[in-house]
Amino acid sequence: MIPESRETWSLHPKLAADTVPVGDLPLSNVAAMNDANYPWLILTPRRGGAVELIDLVEADQARLMQEIAMVARALKAITACDKLNIGALGNLVPQLHVHIVGRRRGDAAWPSPVWGQTPRPYAPAAAARFVRQVQGQLEAAEDFRKAD
Amino acid sequence: MIPESRETWSLHPKLAADTVPVGDLPLSNVAAMNDANYPWLILTPRRGGAVELIDLVEADQARLMQEIAMVARALKAITACDKLNIGALGNLVPQLHVHIVGRRRGDAAWPSPVWGQTPRPYAPAAAARFVRQVQGQLEAAEDFRKAD
């Protein structure tokens, strides 16, 4: 297990409000953006006070890359999307978080970025189905802990 | 040295047209986007055929994270920007490339993403000055080779 930071960590209230919980990888919280326009996952390293990627120590940066790749493969397997968009912006929510979005030619924003577009909330059953699919893919990974 | 891919690599013509050369790190080409609105660097791994981050082997993914962090620190040191935006999108240019952008509150797109905005080309002397600043920061890094 990677130890938690001494500084208390909790998911930023804006991220918590905009997402549905998926679970935890050794470094990062995994959540699904509540936007039915795109299959969209968010990885948030549980490191108190981290804003930029370069705020993480090198071992955490390396682990984050592994978790990004794992979640990107899971999303690609589920959606057979045309393109993955991966980004750490944080212009609105300062807590370091990484977006992993499955894009399709002709989706609601294509070929523009998804950030700043108006979301289309999931029907509850559809959100739950997407979350279960992601959990199913990530359960093959060691140390994944499903959200309750 | 990290060996080149067997498949021939060259910078995508659209990336070449939109940027000014900075140099090479062991894995990635480094270039500056010709947009004076934001200090904006692009890392392109010299791996023929790579489109997605998950097309890279794990050692290359790890190396790419190191190079992203190195270039992000350099950009932050030069610009004292308010926020770094880091992203791999590729909706328009399929060759795998990573954007590292220094954002300021109140810049031309703030708080929206920079992708898809109209660029404001540098005056030639200003582009050369920015490139020299980046080269100066990266020269401290082992294995950086300046563009001619």
Q: B81-134 pLDDT, tens per residue?
A: 999 999 999 999 999 999 999 999 999 999 999 999 999 999 999 999 999 999
How long, in residues, is chain B?
148
E strand residue ranges, chain A: 19-24, 28-33, 40-45, 83-88, 98-103, 145-146
Does residue B52 lie within any of the structural domains?
Answer: yes
pLDDT for A7 beyond 90 = no
pLDDT for B2 beyond 80 = no
pTM of the shown model: 0.95
DSSP characters for B82-136? SEEEEEE--SS--S--EEEEEE-TTSTTTTS-STTSPP-PPPHHHHHHHHHHHHH
- Mutation pick from B38, B52, B97 vs chain A, by most beta carbons of A within 10 Å, is B52
Structure tokens at A21: 């919980």
Does residue A111 lie within any of the structural domains?
Answer: no
Does residue A114 lie within any of the structural domains?
Answer: no
Q: What is the pLDDT of residues B47-85, one digit of tens each?
A: 999 999 999 999 999 999 999 999 999 999 999 999 999
Mean pLDDT over each residue of chain A, to the nearest integer: 95
B116 shares contact with chain A (CB less than 8 Å) = yes
B76 shares contact with chain A (CB less than 8 Å) = yes
Q: What is the pLDDT of residues A106-133, one digit of tens each?
A: 999 999 999 999 999 999 999 999 999 9
Would you say A72 and A100 are in contact if contact means Cβ atoms under 8 Å apart?
Answer: yes
Task: Supply the pLDDT for residue B142.
Answer: 73
Does residue A143 lie within any of the structural domains?
Answer: no
Structure tokens at A112: 């523009």
Q: By three-state DSSP, how is residue A137 classified?
A: helix
Does residue A90 lie within any of the structural domains?
Answer: yes
| CA angle B30–B124–B136, rounded 5-degree value | 40
CA distance B68 to chain A (A): 9
Does residue A145 lie within any of the structural domains?
Answer: no
pLDDT for A36 beyond 60 = yes
Mean pLDDT of all residues in A32-50: 98
CA distance A72 to chain B (A): 7
Mean pLDDT of all residues in A71-92: 97
Q: By three-state DSSP, how is residue B42 classified?
A: strand
Does residue A5 lie within any of the structural domains?
Answer: no
Give the pLDDT band of residue A8 (cuts 50, 70, 90): confident
Q: Report the number of distinct structural domains present in chain B.
A: 1
Among A residues 84-113, those touching chain B with beta carbons less than 8 Å apart? 84-92, 94, 103, 110-113
CB contact under 8 A, A87 and B89: yes
CA distance B108 to chain A (A): 13
Does residue B144 lie within any of the structural domains?
Answer: no
Amino acid residing at B103: R
Looking at chain A, the whole-number percentage of residues with pLDDT higher than 70 is: 95
Give the pLDDT band of residue A25 (cuts 50, 70, 90): very high
- Check if the interface score ipTM surpasses 0.85: yes
Mean pLDDT of all residues in A60-87: 97
- Give the domain CATH number at A93: 3.30.428.10
Domain hosting A61: range is 13-106+121-138
